[in-house]
Amino acid sequence: MRASWQERFAETSDVLKSAKHQQTVVRVQTVVRVSDIEIGGSEFITMAGPCSVETEHQILSTAHFVREHGARILRGGAFKPRSSPYSFQGHGLAGLKMLAQARAETGLAIVTEVMCEDDVPLVAEYADILQIGSRSMENFTLLEAAAKSGKPILLKRGMMATVEDLLKSAQVIVENGNPNVILCERGIRTFDTTLRNTFDVAAIALLKQISHLPVIADPSHACGHRELVPALARIGVAAGADGLIVEVHPNPEKAWSDGEQSLNFAEFEEMMAMLEPHIALRGAAIGKLLETVG
Ligand code: PEP
Ligand code: MN
């Protein structure tokens, strides 16, 4: 790592690769373990599912489908941070119970958002990974409470947050005794409003160089249009991401949230097949690196 980055990110030393690590080719990496799943390990991990948990049929059919096509983790919001107060806000506890049922039926691990510190114990009872949403990235009391739950944390980059801000929030979680942080690039707001957000793929490459934490790409929120999701997923793999989080819905046109950017089942299947050679290349590169190290 450049000395200038080391200086710039000095306040977040717990989430940075150390100067010593920089001088070796060793793939210094935090591996977050969830049951038999390793995030940040050699396997590329796909998290997939609807934006919101809507009905039992919706979440169960999606869980079975994405598992059959390579996903290891089921996503789905029970507590939804919506831009409009009049939009669906999530089913809360009932949604968490549906996620637990999906886990019981499929063996998939569950990642779901927690929006406020009071809900942390409840969400942690059901989730395998707590998602901190973009809008909450700098809610430090929430970060502390989530960290203390002991559950792995998927920390989404705030839509107006710099890479430095993201690392500071990660540092807060680690400082509160929880080393299991997964960073997520989900697009940021820029002058260009053509798409929902601007996918900051350079941030993925940068984070992989300077931080030992796993990095996940969210191609769905990054662009807001399902047609572009597979291309962005491919770019995420190429940039060095450790996995993906992607929205999938049995009937996106009827989705209660984020239907525009959700893949239907056939599109998800096609995307996973398309990604295979790219994921294999990534695996070969990691293998080579480990071989060099001996
Ligand atoms: C989501 O994952 O559905 C979500 C609300 O994401 P973000 O916090 O990145 O907007
Ligand atoms: Mn969403």
Which residue is closest in CA terms to ligand 1's atom 4? 133
- The two beta strands, 153-156 and 129-132, are parallel
Q: Determine whether the shortest distance from the Cβ of 77 to ligand 1 is under 6 A.
A: yes
Which residue is closest in CA terms to ligand 1's atom 1? 51
Is the Cβ–Cβ distance between 112 and 145 less than 8 Å? no
Which residue is closest in CA terms to ligand 1's atom 2? 51
Q: Determine whether the shortest distance from the Cβ of 186 to ligand 1 is under 6 A.
A: yes
Q: State the pLDDT at residue 254.
A: 98
Q: Determine whether the shortest distance from the Cβ of 134 to ligand 1 is under 6 A.
A: yes
Q: Determine whether the shortest distance from the Cβ of 51 to ligand 1 is under 6 A.
A: yes
236-285: pLDDT as tens digits: 999 999 999 999 999 999 999 999 999 999 999 999 999 999 999 998 88
SS3 125: helix
Is the Cβ–Cβ distance between 223 and 261 less than 8 Å? yes
2-43: pLDDT as tens digits: 888 888 999 999 999 986 665 555 558 999 999 999 999 999
- The two beta strands, 37-39 and 32-34, are antiparallel
176-217: pLDDT as tens digits: 999 999 999 999 999 999 999 999 999 999 999 999 999 999
Instruction: Give percent of the chain with pLDDT exceeding 70.
Output: 96
Calpha distance 169→131 (Å, rounded): 13
Which ligand does the CA of 161 lie closest to?
Answer: 1
Q: Determine whether the shortest distance from the Cβ of 252 to ligand 1 is under 6 A.
A: no
Calpha distance 284→199 (Å, rounded): 26
SS3 259: helix
Residue type, 63: A
The model carries a pTM of 0.96
What separation in Å is there between the alpha carbon of 266 and the centre of ligand 2?
A: 19
What separation in Å is there between the alpha carbon of 20 and the centre of ligand 1?
A: 35
List b or e across 118-151, with b for residues whose CB sees 16 or more CB atoms inside 10 angstroms.
Answer: ebbeebbebbbbbbbbbbbbbbeebbbbbbebeb
Residue type, 274: M
State the Cα torsion 158-147-175-139 to the nearest 10°.
40
What separation in Å is there between the alpha carbon of 232 and the centre of ligand 1?
A: 16
